[in-house]
Structure 1
Amino acid sequence: MPGAPRPGAAREGTAQTSAEQAAPAQTGSGQPGHVGRSEEDRSANLVHEILSSSWLLSLLALVVALAVGGVLIAAADEQVQEAAGYLFARPTDFIGAAWSAVSEAYVALFHGAVFDGQSATFTRSIRSVTETLTVSTPLILAGLGVALAFRASLFNIGAQGQIIMGATFAAWVGFTWHLPVGVHVVVAVLAGILGGALWGAIPGFLRARTGAHEVIVTIMLNYIAVYLISYLLITPAFQRPGSSNPVSPLLDDTALYPLLLGSGFRLHAGFLVAIAATAFVWWLLNRSTVGFRFRAVGLNPHAARTAGIKVEWAYVLVMIVAGGLAGLAGTAQVMGTEKYLTAGIAASFGFDAITVALLGRSRPIGVFFAGLLFGALRAGGVTMQARTGTPIDIVLVVQSVIVLLIAAPPLVRAIFRLPAPNSRPRSARPAAVKEAQA
């Protein structure tokens, strides 16, 4: 029959293939072919590892979020809306208006977050980056607390309440105790750590002793902290004398974080505390026995218990440390930025810290840079709204999209056609699979 293989062709092809595989193919350099293939496989593995890394996914999630924000900025712009009315007649007008709206908004965001070249003096130009660092400080500290709990498979949703309690303890020490310079700020910081640690110990203890889920407990403790501080600020012990507003007295100057760049800037020594806390958490997780136990419990609590690790004690201890870090964030607010206690002292830093921890992949260095990014978005969003009229809610949308994409890595891989982490690069696949695909 025409086109039918002749008898024995399969055996001949098999023998020929075996002979080709047995004889070492020569490369251009005179070396056997398997050396070239191994180098090719190593290169392919490296590229595959880069393309499937979590850091690349975080970066691409940011790119997608900014693109979505750009679409919303263009949609909210009046000139873009007007040009859309005659889109098909003059599409270039629509494209130009959209590009102008998005570029001006993001340039204003950069000026408000990093460097404002339009300012008259150099001092005003660098004020933007100092504001970013100031806003980033509580985000980094609270994000470290959330990330540390994540590494032990605990969901610390209570950073908001822990920030409030840390700020409350630190403020009380700051305006009631009158201590010498240097001693007062240290005691106030320790009080803030204690307040956050006590508030974090409650869900840790309940999880260890009763099995109560820390998500429910921490959310409820957030509400308790919010209403507790609102009550305290109308009591004689916390309310400012002669004022009917729910605000505390000003903290003593000896209890405030020193300003790093003078009175013209708000950047204070709390940022240095955030750097030190980042180094401490890195050391705790990667160089200490306690951190190893935290990571072991997070990976597999049953195996950790079999190995002799007290899982329940690890739950309590990790929440104490996480709460203490969030309490430090409270000290940054009350001892550095605000200088007195209010009911809104925590703003939304506790909830934003969850996003920071997710974007930073629960790694201390990642959390640090994620905190800087979100601080930049917060600081630059105000300038963006003031100069271009772009709603500041666009920044919240960008943050939300980042959370969505970080929580769904397959979605990012599908958008950019990236390989899955456990898949094998094409050049590293067996020769038989490549022949079958061909």
Structure 2
Amino acid sequence: MLRGPVFIDFLSKLPYEIAIYILLFVDMHNLTKVALISRTWNQFSRDNEVWKNIYLHQKQWKVRIPPSLPRKIIPDSTAAAAAALVAATASQSQEALAATTTAVSKHITPKPLNWKMLCHDRTQLERRWTTVPPKTKLLGHTDSVYCVQFDHYKIVTGSRDQTIKFWDLHTLKPTHTLRGHSQSVLCLQFNDKIMVSGSSDNTIIVWDMENRTILSRLHGHTAGVLDVCFDDQYIVSCSKDTSIKVWDVKTFALVKTMTGHRGPVNAVQLHKGQVVSASGDGMVKLWNIGSGQCVRDFIGHDRGLACVQFDGETIVSGSNDKTIKIWEARTGRCLRTLTGHTALVRTLHFENNRIVSGSYDHTVKVWDMTTGQCILDLDSGHSSWVFDVQFSSSRIISTSQDRHIIVWDFAGDLDVRLFE
């Protein structure tokens, strides 16, 4: 008598922990197929550790994992902290709200992250980066908006109207206006403690981020300060005067001046003791802060450069030749040239294999760094030159000569608070 093949459901015969360990080697696409095999396999496929492993193995996905919190609830201190939270909410103070929210959270048992839901939402979010998202226009500056940076709570912008404005990221309403420069605010960068801004008035201002007051005003450039950046050791600035200056971030003393460009230095980036600069002379240069010497020139653009970014390994530059170039920092080799803009590439930002650029052709474009293809063209936002762009996993924010700040929101109905 002939018998058919005998199938053994080996996974269901294994201890649960071993079965789950095996599924850690399954990718997201195939895990959804595993769920259809049987009721037992479906149960295995819904294990939170399996989905956590899948999420964390996506190279370009990051998550803001909440810290481990004590599980014991202390009624008196919890009540006091909660009362402070209500008061902070009523006062609409972002700083007070953040501090008291932290105080309350110390006494509340956190819910474990639902990693399957995070994978689902992040997948949906990534797909949305190929279609034009809803946009919101912010108007508050009275002249061109030259620069922008944002984090999880706020947007900060600098303008030709000589002011710096703070905006609430969630309500998109202005919250504070800073005055200190006597001409256009051309550039800025901030972290939790300080903000550094540069201006056409030839000065750099270091601001205290907690109370938004001036800590120091740095003098040294003889023309407009076109870009600034800083880390925990140095502030680096560049200028229309063709120089790059390095300042001590704690004492604000001038450490050194680096020269070598033959035109305005329009952009600088700082990473672990190295500086990359981009100039109107058409050159990208890599500098060593310790020696103050130029380490390497990157030659390839046909016209002057307006923007650059550097992460330690890769340099991306934008030029008046209408192209974006991707360089290998270690060798100086041009890896790829991106074409598509029809005017000066004024600004760019790259992260996680994605480049966002803004141009004098009035558009914002999104590029795949691996293929060099433009995957999204946002051509219906600004009516004039785009001066700056920044992006996160769920937003692009762009600024323009048209005085508008545009928030392009890919999140929609997704909860993206845990996404970087």
Fold in common (TM above 0.5): no
* Structure with the higher fraction of residues in helix conformation: 1
* Structure with the higher fraction of residues in strand conformation: 2
Name which one, 1 or 2, has greater alpha-carbon Rg.
1
Q: TM-score, normalised by structure 2?
A: 0.25
